[in-house]
Amino acid sequence: MSDGKAPGDEAIAYEAQLHPVIFAPPVVIFVGGIAAIFFNPLAAIALLLFSIVAIVGAYWKLSTTRIIVTNQRVIYRTGVIGRRTIEMSKDKIESIDVSQSILGRLFDFGSLTVKGTGGGIEAIHNVAAPFALRNRVAGEGSEPAWMPGISEPAKT
């Protein structure tokens, strides 16, 4: 779907991706494996092999996850062999919650929780630029409100 069209003549308005922060835990394990070489070479080998498998897994997840906003719906797909697809029509979305930790604020990643009518709640973790994605889903690129529930001050 890299041609700019989604199924049914839907135009792709925005495509988000996961943040590279998903590589942080495997890299920390890798550094621990390097440090363990001086103390316990056997444990170091185990940590290094585990971290390499985890890095490949993180890369696989990063490359197989697509978050697509079209003019009609939001699509979240992940996996190749074990495929998980979530599609929600934009007119069925009640709210979009964004949560970020301090590191998330610093490095611009976070989790989105999309709440749909009828009780559908889907969480998408480690999204790069979560507020840009939320704004695209909410208004397909429109400017966000000045403050929720408060009209913008008059410009003089």
What are the tens digits of pLDDT across the range 11-36?
A: 888 899 999 999 999 999 999 999 99
pLDDT band for position 137 (cuts 50, 70, 90): confident
Cβ-proximal residues to 131 (8 Å cutoff; 6+ apart), any chain: 98, 110
0.75 surpassed by pTM: no
CA distance 86 to 83: 10
Q: What is the mean pLDDT of residues 111-133?
A: 86
Cβ-Cβ contacts under 8 Å for 84 (sequence gap 6 or more): 76, 77, 78
Contact 66, 15 (CB under 8 A): yes
